[in-house]
Amino acid sequence: MLKIRLSRAGKRNTPFFRVVLTEHTKAAKHGYKEVLGFYNPISKEFKLKDTAKIKKYLSNGVQFSPRLEKLVKINKISL
């Protein structure tokens, strides 16, 4: 089953996350299929690249991770 979740990047003490599409059994850091956006927790910047593509994935049964679902609701992004 595919999931849209966060993959950590960046240096130590400087976290940066990519929003990726990946199989739920694989590691998000190395096994992702596509990068769909990013999240910077230091500057609180959250951006999704192509919301139409994400809507298509969601209609095909792909799910958000719980943390990413909270971020989408907090930032009031309509999908």
Cβ within 8 Å of residue 2, ≥6 positions away: 21, 22, 23, 24, 33, 57, 61, 62, 63
Looking at the predicted structure, is the pLDDT value of residue 4 above 90? yes
What global pTM score does this model have? 0.87
Mean pLDDT value of segment 11-36: 88
Angstrom distance (rounded) from CA 72 to CA 25: 23
Percent share of the chain, pLDDT over 70: 99
* Dihedral sign computed on CA atoms, order 16, 22, 25, 31: negative
Mean pLDDT value of segment 51-60: 93
The mean of the pLDDT values for the chain is 91
Which residue segments constitute the domains of the chain, with CATH numbers given? 2-74 (3.30.1320.10)
Phi–psi pair at 67, nearest 5 degrees? -65, -40
